[in-house]
């Protein structure tokens, strides 16, 4: 029987739809509701009481990813990223390589979409990569605690297929 060779799925969500995965140390996740109005939909992108995102936003960008595009891997020494998908479906993968972290060596994978609005805050020292899962453009907003420094970017990169990170994008 083929079932003897198959791998059984493990639980990924609770009966209430909450993820069961443990977040990497310092990573924050905040689902936000869509507010249905008479003329459309409103989604709040940030509220201080959510305790997600930098204390003060200093820089914000809107990114459009081409169909099936991949942007991986990169890390920051000081910058805190907070990501919110505005269109399409994006996979966000995080890898904790921080020596002083309780979750060193662990991975978080988030499937983000406008259909279930979610903010993800990535602290410094977490390697991250994004993959557009759609055959059309997807987009996201990323806001930061520091403005981009053109003359000395806080950006460190590895190729998407590096053997140094135990994850393979499909």
> In angstroms, rounded to a whole number, what is the distance separating the alpha carbons of residues 78 and 123?
8
Would you say residue 162 lies in a domain? no
Would you say residue 111 lies in a domain? yes
Would you say residue 106 lies in a domain? yes
Would you say residue 165 lies in a domain? no
Would you say residue 99 lies in a domain? yes
Q: Is 88 a residue whose pLDDT tops 90?
A: yes
**Which domain, by its residues, includes 148?**
2-157
Strand order across the beta sheet in which 81-87 lies: 28-31, 118-122, 81-87, 138-144, 59-65
What is the full DSSP assignment across the chain?
A: -GGGGS------B-TTS-B-SPPPTT-EEEE--EEEETTEEEE----GGG--S-SS--EEEEEEEPTT-EEEEEE-SS--EEEEEEESEEEEEEEE--TT-TTTT-EEEEEEETTB-EEEEE-TTEEEEEEE-SSS-EEEEEEESS---TTS---EE--TT-TTSS----
Please tell me the predicted confidence (pLDDT) of residue 51. 83
Interval 48-68: pLDDT, tens: 888 888 778 899 999 999 999
Q: Is 2 a residue whose pLDDT tops 80?
A: no
Would you say residue 109 lies in a domain? yes
Nearest to 113 by CA among 83, 80, 89, 144: 89
Would you say residue 14 lies in a domain? yes
44 vs 156: which has the higher pLDDT = 156
Q: Which CATH number characterizes residue 126's domain?
A: 2.60.120.10
Q: Number of folded domains in the chain?
A: 1
Would you say residue 164 lies in a domain? no
Q: What is the mean pLDDT of residues 19-25?
A: 92
Q: Is 1 a residue whose pLDDT tops 80?
A: no
- Predicted TM-score (pTM) of this structure: 0.90
Tokens 């930098």 found at: 54
């Amino acid at each position: 029987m083929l079932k003897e060779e198959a791998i059984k799925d493990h639980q990924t969500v609770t009966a209430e739809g909450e993820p069961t995965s443990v977040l990497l140390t310092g990573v924050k996740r905040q689902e936000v509701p869509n507010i249905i109005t008479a003329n459309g939909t409103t989604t709040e992108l940030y509220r201080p009481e959510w305790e997600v995102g930098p204390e003060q936003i200093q820089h914000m960008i809107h990114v459009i990813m081409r169909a099936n595009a991949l942007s991986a891997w990169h890390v920051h020494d000081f910058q805190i990223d907070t990501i919110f998908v505005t269109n399409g479906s994006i996979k966000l993968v995080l890898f904790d390589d921080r020596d002083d972290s309780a979750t060193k060596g662990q991975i978080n994978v988030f499937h983000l979409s406008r259909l279930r609005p979610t903010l993800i805050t990535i602290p410094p020292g977490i390697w991250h990569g994004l993959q557009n899962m759609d055959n059309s453009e997807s987009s996201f907003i990323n806001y930061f605690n520091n403005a981009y420094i053109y003359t000395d970017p806080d950006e460190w990169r590895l190729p998407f297929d590096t053997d140094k990170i135990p994850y393979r994008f499909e």
